[in-house]
Amino acid sequence: MARAIEIVEVGPRDGLQSEPEVLSTATKLELINRLVASGLKRLEVASFVNPKRVPQMADAEAVLAGLAKVPGVQYVGLVLNRKGFDRALAAGCTEVGLVTAATNSFSERNQGATTEELIRTIEEIAPLAREAGVRMQVTLSTAFGCPFEGEVPAARVVEICRRLAKSNPLEIALADTIGVAVPSQVTALVEQVRGVVGDVAIRCHFHNTRNTAVANAYAAVLAGVSTLDASVGGVGGCPFAPNATGNVGTEDLVYMLSRAGYDTGIDLTQLIETARWLGEQRGKPVPSMVSKAGGFPAGTVRASA
Amino acid sequence: MARAIEIVEVGPRDGLQSEPEVLSTATKLELINRLVASGLKRLEVASFVNPKRVPQMADAEAVLAGLAKVPGVQYVGLVLNRKGFDRALAAGCTEVGLVTAATNSFSERNQGATTEELIRTIEEIAPLAREAGVRMQVTLSTAFGCPFEGEVPAARVVEICRRLAKSNPLEIALADTIGVAVPSQVTALVEQVRGVVGDVAIRCHFHNTRNTAVANAYAAVLAGVSTLDASVGGVGGCPFAPNATGNVGTEDLVYMLSRAGYDTGIDLTQLIETARWLGEQRGKPVPSMVSKAGGFPAGTVRASA
């Protein structure tokens, strides 16, 4: 039996958040529904942050209200503080994603607080999530490099993960926020972090800024990681990280994993159609490669004209 | 000491051949000289084919005549038949690259002969190259998949490589002509081919059509391959292979390899400047990612504005 790899679709949040255009709530809902239809079961659909700071996410409550509950499908809300957590809970998220960064410079520019303060926020919210019966996971930004501080010592990432694991999140995601990681670094960091997080799973989040995202994802899978973030069409980036282009495209990742013999449970043909449809909605083609080239062999998935 | 990985720069031939624009001989010469200055020591600079079929390569002799001999630098000419070999020799190439394909459909559409006929051509030219004192290597196209026949059985690739090895080429390159390979396939095929080629080295040639090229290159390196083709700026493709977008970008590969601790002998900053310069010459930015994002940490290599 093929080993299963779970993909968390972050396009509707991490992807769209960095787009210059703001998609309508109806378009976002159609996007999410299409992604669910293609087989995705965990989708980051909204960010409960200050709408003045991230106008693309101002309709977070409306998006959640418009989504049909589908058995087995988790709608994840990004939450940066207690206020955001309360909003996500009220909106009906079944999973919340919390965030801190491996560097203070990034924590402060991205979330307006030090890494230590953000960890304390996570420690405050973790028991509340448990009481409320919602899943809770944590992402550690700039785990492979920081746009402001440069190289991030692995020892610092390991120490933060050791502490985060005490809050018993569903998983800790090592995020290459600015797309600088290389596969050897992924192999080493995953191994080191695994040594300190006990039973807490490791997720990985890669950006393709320097064309290494698929290589990093494969290295993570070989290192035993079974959950990866990806963004339909490869849209996204980070508005507060200079030069951070898109997340790895979901269809690029699904193509590689499927052809390498892993089971993602996702229909590549449908996913490619959705990526192309998203390109039409935003008025320019999405940056992923498989959305242009199609799958292989020809006929399995249609190539674009 | 860091393990050395040799990169064969194929941009001036495989890259430019598929561009709609035809660069002037002077521009090609400046490109090649810049690449040599950045540390590249093996460059595929021309194709000795019918200029009516590939007008971008019509100035093959003029390119070779205009290049300064640099100690330790090999100028490779692509050669598809005896006539091309004679031209390459007369033009002063120090290395010739011969080609066949793993599928007849591709051999016939790309080179107008069956795979068997092309192998016989290679067997005819090999001793002539040895007598003439020029290096000779072979590329096997569609080794990971064919645009016309779909999946290519690994056993067929292995059998062709076993036969090609008897001509004792400098190396046999496994080429993913249409960019369909995934890293697990690279690992497996390199191992199988190694078992039948004796002392003949294996080179790999990847296209990034489905965003897997850097992952494939890393898998090849882990499997013991020490020579990889790449194209500055990621330009190129194949005019006879539908949807085959560019070769893996040299700077993308150098970025990944250098940060992973391998020694390519190439100055990434200079290489990125050349990729951006090439974008200006062709009138549109090159598709590689590192040429846009710059290296890391910031300051090591300037990011673009």
Q: How far is CA A252 from CA A88, A115, A272, in A?
A: 30, 32, 9
Burial A133-160 (b: 16+ CB within 10 A, else e): ebbbbbbbbbbbbbbebeebebeebbeb
Q: Do A256 and B294 touch (CB under 8 A)?
A: no
Q: ipTM of the assembly? A: 0.94
Comparing C-alpha atoms, which of A192, A194, A217, A262 is closest to residue B219? A217
A145 has a chain B CB within 8 A of its CB? yes
The predicted structure's pLDDT at residue B15? 84
Q: Do B211 and A208 touch (CB under 8 A)?
A: yes
d(CA B33, CA B232): 13
Confidence band, pLDDT 50/70/90 cuts, at residue B303:
very low
Contacts of A251 in chain B (CB under 8 A): none
The whole-number average pLDDT for the span A189-199 is 98
The whole-number average pLDDT for the span B271-293 is 93
The β-bridge relationship of strands B74-79 and B95-101 is parallel
Q: CA-based Rg of chain A, rounded to a whole angstrom?
A: 18
CATH code for the part of the protein at A6-293: 3.20.20.70
For A150, the closest of B184, B185, B298 (CB atoms) is: B298
The whole-number average pLDDT for the span B28-47 is 97
d(CA B34, CA A8): 43
Q: How far is CA B25 from CA A166, A251, B105, in A?
A: 64, 40, 33
The predicted structure's pLDDT at residue A37? 98
Confidence band, pLDDT 50/70/90 cuts, at residue B299:
low
Q: Is the pLDDT of residue B197 over 70?
A: yes
The predicted structure's pLDDT at residue B300? 56
d(CA B183, CA B64): 36
The predicted structure's pLDDT at residue B305? 36
Q: Do A296 and B184 touch (CB under 8 A)?
A: no
CA torsion through residues B26, B27, B32, B33, sign: positive
The predicted structure's pLDDT at residue B22? 85
Confidence band, pLDDT 50/70/90 cuts, at residue B136:
very high
Domain ranges in chain A are: 6-293
pLDDT tens, B95-114?
Answer: 999 999 999 999 999 889 99
Q: How far is CA B145 from CA B103, B104, B151, B181, in A?
A: 9, 12, 5, 7
DSSP A298: B
Q: Which residues contact B98 (CB under 8 A, 6 or more apart)?
A: B79, B80, B121, B122, B125, B136, B137, B138, B139, B169
Contacts of A259 in chain B (CB under 8 A): 180, 182, 185
User: Which positions of A are catalytic?
Assistant: 238
Residue in chain A lying closest to B152 (CA): A297
Find the helix or strand (DSSP H, E) in which B173 lies: strand B171-176
The whole-number average pLDDT for the span B256-284 is 96
Average pLDDT, chain A: 93
Rounded to a whole number of angstroms, the distance from the CA of A161 to the nearest CA of chain B is: 23
Burial B99-117 (b: 16+ CB within 10 A, else e): bbbbbbbbbbebbebebee
d(CA B155, CA A127): 57
A182 has a chain B CB within 8 A of its CB? yes
The predicted structure's pLDDT at residue B240? 55
Confidence band, pLDDT 50/70/90 cuts, at residue B16:
confident
d(CA A130, CA A126): 6
For A210, the closest of B178, B209, B290 (CB atoms) is: B290
Give A21 or B226, the one with higher predicted confidence. Answer: B226
Comparing C-alpha atoms, which of A159, A141, A147, A155 is closest to residue A101? A141
Q: Do A179 and B293 touch (CB under 8 A)?
A: yes
CA torsion through residues A271, A277, A279, A281, sign: negative
Q: Is the pLDDT of residue B181 over 90?
A: yes
3 state SS of A146: strand
d(CA A256, CA A251): 8
Contacts of A296 in chain B (CB under 8 A): 145, 150, 178, 180, 210
The predicted structure's pLDDT at residue B245? 74
A260 has a chain B CB within 8 A of its CB? yes
* Burial bucket for residue A28 (CB in 10 Å: 0-12, 13-18, 19+): buried
A97 has a chain B CB within 8 A of its CB? no
For chain A, percent of residues with pLDDT exceeding 70: 95
For chain B, percent of residues with pLDDT exceeding 70: 95
pLDDT tens, A37-94?
Answer: 999 999 999 999 988 888 888 899 999 999 999 999 999 999 999 999 999 999 999 9
Please name the residue that has the structure tokens 């230590």: A116
A64 with A91: CB under 8 angstroms?
A: yes
The predicted structure's pLDDT at residue A211? 96
CA torsion through residues A134, A135, A140, A141, sign: negative
Q: Which residues contact B280 (CB under 8 A, 6 or more apart)?
A: none
The predicted structure's pLDDT at residue A245? 73
Confidence band, pLDDT 50/70/90 cuts, at residue B74:
very high
Q: Is the pLDDT of residue A304 over 70?
A: no
B153 has a chain A CB within 8 A of its CB? no
The predicted structure's pLDDT at residue A55? 85
The predicted structure's pLDDT at residue A241? 52
Backbone angles phi, psi at B55, to 5 degrees: -60, -25
The whole-number average pLDDT for the span A189-207 is 98
d(CA B95, CA A100): 54
B178 with B146: CB under 8 angstroms?
A: yes
Q: Is the pLDDT of residue B135 over 50?
A: yes
pLDDT tens, B56-71?
Answer: 888 999 999 999 999 9
For A252, the closest of B210, B249, B289 (CB atoms) is: B210
A188 has a chain B CB within 8 A of its CB? no
Token pair belonging to B259: 């940060």
For B150, the closest of A182, A214, A298 (CB atoms) is: A298
The predicted structure's pLDDT at residue B223? 98
The predicted structure's pLDDT at residue A243? 54
The predicted structure's pLDDT at residue A154? 98
Q: Is the pLDDT of residue B236 over 90?
A: no
The predicted structure's pLDDT at residue A43? 98
Is B93 assigned a catalytic role? no
Return the C-alpha torsion angle A144, A236, A296, A187, nearest 10.
Answer: 10
Backbone angles phi, psi at A43, to 5 degrees: -135, 125
Backbone angles phi, psi at B45, to 5 degrees: -110, -15
The predicted structure's pLDDT at residue B17? 85
Comparing C-alpha atoms, which of B175, B299, B281 is closest to residue B228? B175
Token pair belonging to B151: 């999946």
The alpha helices in chain B, defined as continuous H runs, are 16-17, 25-37, 60-66, 82-91, 104-111, 115-132, 154-165, 183-194, 213-222, 250-259, 268-282, 290-293
Contacts of B304 in chain A (CB under 8 A): 243
Q: Is the pLDDT of residue A299 over 70?
A: no
The predicted structure's pLDDT at residue A295? 93
Apex A229 CA angle, A247 and A139, nearest 5: 100
Confidence band, pLDDT 50/70/90 cuts, at residue B120:
very high
